[in-house]
Amino acid sequence: MQQLLMIEDDARLAQMVGEYLERSGFGVTQALDAKGGLALLHEPANGRLPDLVILDLMLPDLDGLEVCRRIRAMPSEAARVPILMLTAKGDPMDRIVGLEIGADDYLPKPFEPRELLARIRAVLRRRSETAAPPAARRMQFGSLEIDRDARSVTIAGEHRELTSYQFDLLVALADRAGRVLTRDQIMEAVRGRELEAFDRSIDVHMGRIRAAIEADVKNPKRILTVRGVGYVFAKQQD
């Protein structure tokens, strides 16, 4: 059974959503504040990290964005746990900032439990899918190496940090190196949610990926923007 950690200070909402997710086949652990949630990641129950964290943006003791930063900075596997952030009022800036600091997806409040469930399943599916043929498990582009099995990215042997979703986006592009992809095609390749009107999430994630793998973000050599169309992953690299 896949385990979820829900960090949400609204006890009534947490209980309602938790019961719904448990009926849908998940195990759910709840924390009503940031301190409790971070403690469960530092020292997980039964030694098992959650498969995904549902993180509320507005917490009584610490801003959800700061919690996200702290999770991504943890010196353990906890740093790689997918994060789905709940953003009050659906503020676009909250969404963008959340994605920039490492959240894998976001859902504005109020939300339908069914949509939350669908997004959780999509994030976990992206994380677990390993359908590539054996020969393509590890991809090399100059000094850049992408290891599907380890879900790691290195440049000249140096590890580069990406969220689970960003890793899947990079793999989707690398699998189609030299081919220009629209944003819709990229989203479809990772089987994520459909693009919403004026949704900049792909662009935000691409910026984070470039920050991790490009020597010069302002003059990228690996992931190129094709104005008015989308992105292309360069076949020939350093």
Per-residue pLDDT tens over the stretch 85-135: 998 765 677 677 777 788 888 888 889 999 999 999 988 887 775 444 554
Residue finishing a domain among 70, 93, 128: 128
Is 100 a member of any domain?
yes
Q: Are residues 7 and 124 in the same domain?
A: yes
Nearest CA among 217, 173, 169, 220 for reference residue 192: 169
| For range 15-40, the mean pLDDT | 96
Q: Are residues 107 and 176 in the same domain?
A: no
Look up the CATH number of the domain holding residue 105.
3.40.50.2300
Residue finishing a domain among 128, 160, 183: 128
Q: Are residues 109 and 141 in the same domain?
A: no
Least confident range from 74-83, 98-107, 117-126, 187-196: namely 187-196
Q: Are residues 58 and 162 in the same domain?
A: no
Cα 70 vs. chain centroid, distance in angstroms?
A: 15
Q: Are residues 158 and 177 in the same domain?
A: yes
3-state percent helix, strand, coil for the chain, nearest multiple of 5:
40, 20, 35
Domain of residue 56: give its range: 3-128
Domain tally for the chain? 2
Q: Are residues 40 and 106 in the same domain?
A: yes
Is 99 a member of any domain?
yes
Percent of the chain scored above 70 by pLDDT? 90
Token readout for 113 is: 């439990």
Is 238 a member of any domain?
no
Look up the CATH number of the domain holding residue 173.
1.10.10.10
Q: Are residues 111 and 169 in the same domain?
A: no
Whole-model pTM? 0.65
Task: Please say whether the beta carbons of 52 and 58 come within 8 A.
Answer: no
